[in-house]
Structure 1
């Protein structure tokens, strides 16, 4: 779109800033009908995901490609404070709900890590160990293999040509070069 800036295009249908209190009350309040609809879902994580998408589609106007693109900590904090007020609970110091939100966030991150690790192990039993190995810094080097792979290649000319030829000559080796880094410059640019 020629008339939109890159920022406008990127902002379309996504959370740009934290919702205001009136927006939270208007778009994120779940009435009895909403809660009955959410209760039809099988597990807690399905119910949570459905509720997040329901509120997101109301506020943003569409479903997010990545449901985690929600300002979680702030939204959770605001929801907790709203719950306390609705139930006429004397508000504690701000650090109390902030700590609770932080704890919940850490638990959610840990669950996500475990879920991804299990899925990776099911896909390829060696994959988690291979990924951890990418993070280790060998004694004879100053950076990890992952960091080396992230940096732009500096090989030019003959060295890069040799790596390309080696990968082209042996297709079974090509994938190993990309993951393990045998050959230096082979980083998926061929």
Structure 2
């Protein structure tokens, strides 16, 4: 599988919360701006306002919506509730009762934040990874992390981890092959043969004396 080159840590943190967001991250991703606050307040019930706000910040931070929108650290819920003036953040538990509402909210949020589906930006991702391969010495794992960061910053929803891992692997291999062809093509055939011959290790002629030729140490 393409994901075999990823570390366990990379796989674990992909599109998921692995720790509480820092205060700086809460401010950056979960602070409701004027438009976000206005949209959240359109929801009639408290738990829907809170659930919408949590999903709004989640996709901004992780680049994806969670299968379970309540699978977030408590500090996220508390931070959103404070902005909405909701005294009891535990009311968000009711948000899980209706998946249709959650789905409707993801569509609203995607449109509001102008998030694109991965398929719409795939060619851009390929170009980004290829440019990194051509200009850096990034390892495959580093290329993967760079691609994730690019997707989040460009507001492109993360695909499945296998899809992205395979893309990074394939683009790296193809780009390196192109570079090799570009380097080798101008080199005359006889020069290539001479260079290859220099890589051949000659066979040892006779035995060598590594012990000082009979001398005792």
Normalising TM by the smaller chain, what interval? Answer: 0.3 to 0.5
Higher relative contact order (CA 8 A, sep 6+): 2
TM-score in terms of structure 1 length = 0.40
TM-score in terms of structure 2 length = 0.36
